[in-house]
Amino acid sequence: MHRLQVSAAASGLLILLLATPAAFADEDGLHYQPHVGFSHGDHHADLRLEFRYRWADWKAFSQKSDAFHGLRTRFALDYRFRKRFRLFAQGQQTAVLGLSGNSSGAGGLYRANNNGKDNPGSVRVSQLFAQFDPTPDAQIRVGREFVKLGTLVEYDEPNWKFLKAKRLSQRLLGTVGWTHGERAYDGVTARLGLDGHLFHAFVSEPTTGVFVVDKDAYKSQKHVIVGGLDWTAERGTFFDDSEVGGFLIGYSDDRNPAKVAGLFGNITVVTLGGSWLGVYPAGPGRVDALLWGAFQFGKYKDAGPTSGVRNRDQRAGALIAEVGYQLPDVWSKPWLRFGVNWASGDSNLDDDDRNTFFNILPTNHMYYGYLDQFAFQNLIDLLVQLKLAPVGKLGLELAYHRFWLQEDADFRWSGTGAFSRVNLGYVRNAQNGSTDVGHELDLVASYPLNRWLTVSAGYAHLWGGKVFNGLPDDDASFGYVQAAFKY
């Protein structure tokens, strides 16, 4: 473990040393702006380095708070031949230090999923893929990569970047990059751009990771398969200020339920949905709007309170509607947003239909409270969000959530999808016969010191409702300080 700490510190020091302005060499030879690389003729290779340190203090439904440290270092080699072939290899070193028997929240999850270790860590292969580009608008990847549904089409404007990355993407399929473990996908992906339309097809097995950071991280899960097709009509294709998208996702989990906590049998769920995202001039500012919806069908083997384990018909849905108003030319550039996130629940856990929306493999951290206590299943979340830029590059974000369960007969669900070979990835929590979940306040401040280094800090507090009655404490809170280098 001491070697892990020393190595992580050395990696961070190396990144700082490299993060020095220098002239980029367009010709063959060595260059290091904005990354270390070497070019020769049709061959080009880059060395990419990332380092992230976070101190976090948690007190989640517990009488005691506990702090721990997380370090993640990534080192990658990116080789390209012309614009036709790419080989990308990335290693990841992870260390979570200072856990204890008092750890709760994320700290408790790290400890529970790493054999009770106080200082788990490992060095693993996080990405390794070959990419073929038969034409400038077509691409095929084979191997291990980070798949983040909804991020393939990007725009230059900061407001569009935020809406795409933090309000639309990874709702059902992501990597959970907030955690120190994260997860990748082993499989094949293909992309095709055609007259303003981007088509993306994929079939993959998710790896372990997220809260698993020891020797069991980044192992394939051969009995869990996700695949599908998503389509994006880029802004300007149909409407000048709007992007339209659709998706079809299939998910199958046929792991042995005797070895997987929370799993009662095969899960085969198909999700069909679409989205609308737009930013429109309005008076002195801009209005932004997001609409997102999904419907699910399939089979889900589940256990009812009195009926026992049975194969149920999945019939569920989810809706998201958000609207905001931006004043970019006013002091602090205020951006106020309102939204509702609704995921269906089940009013009868013993009948033949299962109406609980299945969250698949998402990154939920950006959406349903930074305390990450809820999956997008049997949930209603009313959101008020304010973003400010009062001084220079300083960014402030304040968010308020009011949570309810959609059905009081169903559970309060938490989790982020299959990240371990020994658990489903979602946990059923007692609801005490109530739909009153509570309300949460989140505050985050971030400041990019330069193009390589960003520092941030945040605090979140959940005032728990009646569904948390009976726990040692009804409330949960956590604070953190983070430094992230990317070169």
The three-class DSSP label of residue 160 is helix
CA distances from 274 to 148, 291, 295, 378 (A): 16, 8, 10, 20
pLDDT in tens, 210-257: 999 999 999 999 999 999 999 999 999 999 999 999 999 999 999 999
Q: What is the pLDDT of residue 190?
A: 97
CA distances from 361 to 175, 225, 253, 420 (A): 8, 11, 12, 12
Task: Find how far residue 117's CA is from the centre of its chain.
Answer: 25
Q: What does the block give as tokens for 327? A: 């004043």
Which residues are 337's β-sheet partners? 324, 385
Asked if 478 and 58 count as a contact pair (C-beta separation under 8 A), the reply is yes
Write the burial class of residue 389 (CB in 10 Å: 0-12 exposed, 13-18 middle, 19+ buried). Answer: middle
Q: What is the pLDDT of residue 19?
A: 41
State whether the Cα torsion 353-356-357-359 is positive or negative: negative
Distance separating alpha carbons of residues 362 and 171, to the nearest angstrom: 5
Which residues are 443's β-sheet partners? 398, 459
Distance separating alpha carbons of residues 24 and 46, to the nearest angstrom: 13
Asked if 206 and 170 count as a contact pair (C-beta separation under 8 A), the reply is no
DSSP 177: T
Q: What is the DSSP string of 318-329?
A: EEEEEEEEE-TT
Asked if 232 and 198 count as a contact pair (C-beta separation under 8 A), the reply is yes
334 Rama class: left (phi>0) / alpha (psi -120 to 50) / beta: beta
Distance separating alpha carbons of residues 88 and 71, to the nearest angstrom: 22
For 351, phi and psi rounded to 5 degrees?
Answer: -90, -170
Q: Residue 115 contacts by C-beta under 8 Å, 6 or more apart in sequence?
A: 214
Distance separating alpha carbons of residues 197 and 244, to the nearest angstrom: 10
Mean pLDDT for all residues in the chain: 92
Residue 247: which of 290, 198, 205 has the closest Cα? 198
Residue 68: which of 90, 29, 38, 99 has the closest Cα? 99
What is the enclosing helix (H) or strand (E) of 2?
helix 2-18
Q: What is the CB neighbour count within 10 angstroms for residue 310?
A: 16
Q: What is the pLDDT of residue 29?
A: 52
Q: What is the rounded radius of gyration, in angstroms, for the C-alpha atoms of the chain?
A: 23
Q: Quick one: the chain helix, strand, coil %, rounded to 5? A: 10, 55, 40
pLDDT in tens, 9-22: 444 444 444 443 33
DSSP 226: E
Angle at CA 351, nearest 5°, toward 346 and 356?
20
Q: What does the block give as tokens for 485? A: 């280098």
Q: Residue 266 contacts by C-beta under 8 Å, 6 or more apart in sequence?
A: 252, 253, 254, 299, 301, 311
Asked if 317 and 344 count as a contact pair (C-beta separation under 8 A), the reply is yes
Q: What is the pLDDT of residue 34?
A: 56
CA distances from 313 to 93, 264, 300, 324, 381 (A): 42, 14, 6, 37, 26
Distance separating alpha carbons of residues 385 and 367, to the nearest angstrom: 11
Q: Tens-digit pLDDT profile for the chain (487 aa)?
A: 444 444 444 444 444 444 433 333 334 555 445 568 889 999 999 999 999 999 999 999 998 999 999 999 999 999 999 999 999 999 999 999 999 999 999 999 999 999 999 999 999 999 999 999 999 999 999 999 999 999 999 999 999 999 999 999 999 999 999 999 999 999 999 999 999 999 999 999 999 999 999 999 999 999 999 999 999 999 999 999 999 999 999 999 999 999 999 999 999 999 999 999 999 999 999 999 999 999 999 999 999 999 999 999 999 999 999 999 999 999 999 999 999 999 999 999 999 999 999 999 999 999 999 999 999 999 999 999 999 999 989 999 999 999 999 999 999 999 999 999 999 999 999 999 999 999 999 999 999 998 889 999 999 999 999 999 989 999 999 999 999 998 8
Asked if 80 and 42 count as a contact pair (C-beta separation under 8 A), the reply is no
The three-class DSSP label of residue 70 is strand
**E strands present in 254-344:** 267-282, 285-304, 308-326, 335-343
Q: What is the pLDDT of residue 137?
A: 95
Distance separating alpha carbons of residues 484 and 98, to the nearest angstrom: 20
Write the burial class of residue 3 (CB in 10 Å: 0-12 exposed, 13-18 middle, 19+ buried). Answer: exposed
